[in-house]
Each structure stands twice: as structure tokens, then as C-alpha cells.
Structure 1
Amino acid sequence: MAGSIPTKINMINQTRKKAANDTKLVAIILTAIALIFFVVMLLVPLISVFLKAFEQGASVYYAAISDPMAMKAIKLTLTTIAIVVPINTTFGLIVAWAVAKFKFKGKNLLITIIDLPFAISPVVAGLIFVLLFSTSHGLLAPLLTSLGIKIIFAPAGIVIATLFVTLPFVARELIPLMEAQGTSEEEAALTLGASGLKTFWLITLPNVKWALLYGIMLTAARAAGEFGAVSVVSGHIRGLTNTLPLHVEILYNEYKFSAAFAVASLLTIIAIINLIIKNIADWRIKQQLKND
């Protein structure tokens, strides 16, 4: 009986060792699959964009991105980002603060409304704005016509469509973090006599700065690359309502492949910069949650 105990211990150790080896093998296989998928689906296309962009030389690349129509598309894209990001950042901060720090009726409805752009196709969203703001058959056509305001097939429509599709990003990054942090620090500040606004600037905002940056970068990236909703409301008017993604489509349809990929490389560069900043912000958020 006593002799069988070491045998059982050896069997248990062997079983554990086999299980550990199997787990390690599974981890290696899954990691290899993930890396292969990353290389095939992301890295290779990314490299291909730049190879195709410089296929005919640096002079053709520079000519494509410095073309007057391309410059106007770049200007419109950057202008749209400059308008959309501050508005949705402010909106996201206000909504996240209200949802995470206060209890009120209709909170679930508000969260549902925030998530609405995720549920609606961008193309459908664009069609909704056409039905609302078109001066020929929109619901608000008489009012817009009387005021001399043109939204559809104009930069204003692009801004509105981009505002809609990027609306949730800042709020959705801030709400979970604010809820995890609770309200103890804000309550302590209010007890000591701080005003609500001062509490927000000195307590709430510094605690969520990295999540806020993460949301801002997501918003900027989506605003730069949005195609569906913008395509519907823009009218594809060269030099007026063409953003960078729309300009890439036009160049590609005209079989100007090197020029199309040259302009597309600008969007790729924006995406890479956003990705780097997002990863830094994500790492800092995890460090902050770990320290808390």
C-alpha cells in the first residue's frame, strides 16, 4: 500500500506534465495561426499599398498627392476631422459623465441611442440624411430652401454624416472606465466644497485622459476613412465634396492605379499613426486600472 503512493504521485506528475505540454502546444498553434492571419490579411496588403503607390517612381507618387483635386480632398478630410472630433469629444465626455456618475430615468435609452450608429449601416444613415435634408425631396426641403441652406451634395452633409457614424466612440471608451472608477473621489471633492465643474476638471478628467485620447483617435480614424455615409450625401463632386476615400475610388475607377494607391497611402499613414497612439493609450489605461 505504501509502495503504491510514489507510483500514484509519479502518475499525477506525468499527467500534469502532459497537460502542460498539450497546453503549450495549443498555445503555439493558436499563436502561429494568429500570426499567419495577421501577415496575410493585414501586413501583406499594407505593404502592397506602398509598393503599388511607388510602382512608377517617386515623381508619380508626388504628382498624385500634390494634384489640385487630391489637395482639395485632403483639405476637406482634415476640415471634417477638425470639426467632428471636438464636437463628438465634448458630446462623449458629457454623456459618459452623466451615464457613469449619475442615476436618472432613461439611462438605458440614452445608452441605446449612443449605440445606434453601430447598429445602422452607414449607407442607410446617409440615405436617412438625404431624406431629411435634400432640397428637392427632403422632409426639411421647404425650410432649407427658404433659408438658402444646402446640406446634401455639400461639405455640410459630409460633416453631419461623419458626426453620426463617429458619435459613439468617445463615450463608449469613457463609460466603462468611469463606471469602474466609481464616484468616491468626486463625492469627496464635493464634500470638501468643490463645485461640480471644478470636480470634473480636477478629478474626473485627469482620471480618464488616456481613455479619452483612445476615443479621440478612434473618432479621427473613422472620420478620415468613412466611405459609406459620406458617399451617399456627397454627390462625388470633384474639388467640392470629395474626401480622400472618395478620391481614391474615383482614381481607381479611372484606372489610375498608381495615383489611387498613392492617395490611399496617405490614409494608411493616418491609420498607422492612429494605431500607434491608440496602443500607447490602451497600455496606459491598463496600467492605470492595475494601479487602481
Structure 2
Amino acid sequence: MADVLTREVEMAPPPPTPRTINRRQRKSLTTYLLRIVVAGYLFLLVAWPVSLVAVNTFDDGMTSLRLLMEDPDVVVALRLTALVAVWSVVINTLFGVTMSLLLVRYEFPGKRALNALLDLPLSVSPIVVGLALVLVYGGRNGWFGPGLESAGLQVIFSTPGIILATTFVALPLMIRELVPVLQEVGVEQEQAAASLGANGWQRFWRITLPSIKWGIVYGVVLTLARSLGEFGAVKVVSGNVLGQTRTATLVVEEKYLNFDQQGAYATAFLLAMVSVACIVIVAIIRPKSHR
């Protein structure tokens, strides 16, 4: 018995010294200070401005929202924004899953260049993106514009151009969400399924897709938020035609410049609430292991 007690005493950690206690206290104080700085930064940069938009929207009750929804041009703009956002999410989801699998599962010449090129929409100004699309798809001087218009398809200053611009600026978001997930999942399960006779589609639907589904969900939320809020590229390629190619973000600018600040606040509030609602829903339904 005495030997056991002696062994436990020898294996017990030494009592903390005053220097160790002071070091832990300083570390704890530094952690709290960093938390305060980060919280204050997020409050001043995100929470406060967004809350001011909400406060100004309901400054006169529900009047501004009611008047906004009674304006047929605004309703058309909201529908167009929703249509463009849905198409952007669908295209970027299909392309993002395919491109992520290509980057992670295969080796080929020019892979690094392609990987770097995918980040171009995040580094280039949306105004430049819109101008580049006009130069390529413009009806008069564009490379493909005259041929497309002769075939009955107008891209610039119409809905296809808006979808193209919005899809371009949100292109990397899905890919940058899926690539780390695919790298973490690895290929062991797919190789095991292949050894059992599963073909490519069966491996994708039964193994790969369930493994990356939450990465796809996060990418969809980010792509949707980016698509709803796109302004620069859309303004260049849309023409901002009232009741036809004016999106919700262009409505915010038009109303604010025309001194209809309540209408601008209400439109911005609707756009912000859709993005916030998507984030909240994902945070609620996702499993604890992904939180």
C-alpha cells in the first residue's frame, strides 16, 4: 500500500509555481482582450451598420415595406434578382462540384495555373468583369455578340448577361468550400467501393456526395448571398432598364439617389434578411459535428 501511494505521489504533477500562475493569468487576460477587440470590430463593421438599416426600415412601421411591395417595378426587380440568384447557384454548384473533384482527385499539366485562375473573380473588380463581358458579348463590337444576336439571343442588356455576370463573380465560393472537404475525406472509401465493383456514378452518389453535402450547403449559402448582393458587374451588363433589367441592388441605388431613403433601406433590408435567414437555417439544421 505504501509503495502504491509513493508511486502516485511521484507520478503526480508538481504544484504550480508563482511564475506559472502569473503566466496563465497573463494568457487569460490576453485572450479576453482579444475577444473584446474582435467583438468590437465585428460590431462596428457588421452588426451596427446592418442594425441601422433595419432600424431605419421600420422607422415608420411597416409603411416603407408595404409601399415597396406595391411598386410594380420593384416587384419585377425582386423577381429578377431571385431568378438570377437561383440560376447562379445552380450553375456554380454543378461547375463547383465538378471542378473541385478535378482539382483534388486528378493530376494534370497546368493544374496550379487553373487553381490560381479560379480566384480571379475575387481579385478583379466587378466593374472590370462587367466591362470584359460587354467586350466579349456586346451586340456591336463584341466578339460573340453579333453572332448571338443574329441567332436571336441577346446577352448584354438582358437577363442572360446578368446571370453570366453574377455567376462569374460568385464562381470561386463553391470551389473553395469543397476542395478542403474533399482533401479531408480522401479516396479510401471510393477505392474500397471500386474494388467491390461500384462504377463512377455509384461511388459519387453513395460515397462522395454524402461526404461533401455540408460543404455544398455552405457553398450554396455563400453563392446565394453573393449573387443577391452583386452590384458592379450587374450595373454594367444590365443597362438598368426600369421594369426589365433593373435588379434589387440597382433599386437601392436608384431610390437612395432620388432621395427615397426609406425605399432604399427597405430594399436593402429584404436583401440582407434573405442572406441572414439562410445562414441561420443552416446553423440550426447542420449536425453538431460540423459546428
Share of identical aligned residues, percent? 35
Equivalent residue runs for 1:228-247 within 5 Å: 228-247=232-251
C-alpha distance after superposition, 1:44-70 (max 9, x if no partner) = 212211111122331232111331111
The 8 Å contact of residues 65 and 263 in structure 1, kept in 2 or not, is answered as no
1:254 equivalent in alignment to 2:258: yes
1:274 equivalent in alignment to 2:278: yes
Find the aligned partners of 1:26 and 1:18 in 2 and give their Cα distance. 12
1:287 equivalent in alignment to 2:262: no
Find the aligned partners of 1:157 and 1:190 in 2 and give their Cα distance. 42
Equivalent residue runs for 1:49-128 within 5 Å: 49-128=53-132
Find the aligned partners of 2:144 and 2:19 in 1 and give their Cα distance. 73
Equivalent residue runs for 1:222-233 within 5 Å: 222-233=226-237
Q: Identify the range of structure 1 (56-65 vs 26-35) with the bigger mean alpha-carbon deviation.
A: 56-65
Partner residue, 1:158 = 162
**Structure 1 residue 28 displacement after superposition:** 1.2
Q: Identify the range of structure 1 (233-242 vs 268-277) with the bigger mean alpha-carbon deviation.
A: 268-277
TM-score (norm 1): 0.89
- Give the paired residue count: 278
The 8 Å contact of residues 218 and 274 in structure 1, kept in 2 or not, is answered as no
**Structure 1 residue 81 displacement after superposition:** 1.5
1:26 equivalent in alignment to 2:30: yes
Within the candidate set 182, 189, 195, 1:178 is matched to 182
RMSD: 1.9
Partner AA of 2:236 in structure 1: V
Runs of at least 4 residues off by over 3 Å: 277-281
The 8 Å contact of residues 185 and 203 in structure 1, kept in 2 or not, is answered as yes
Partner residue, 2:8 = none
Find the aligned partners of 1:28 and 1:38 in 2 and give their Cα distance. 15
Unaligned runs of 5+ in 1: 1-8
Find the aligned partners of 2:43 and 2:167 in 1 and give their Cα distance. 33
**Structure 1 residue 287 displacement after superposition:** 2.1
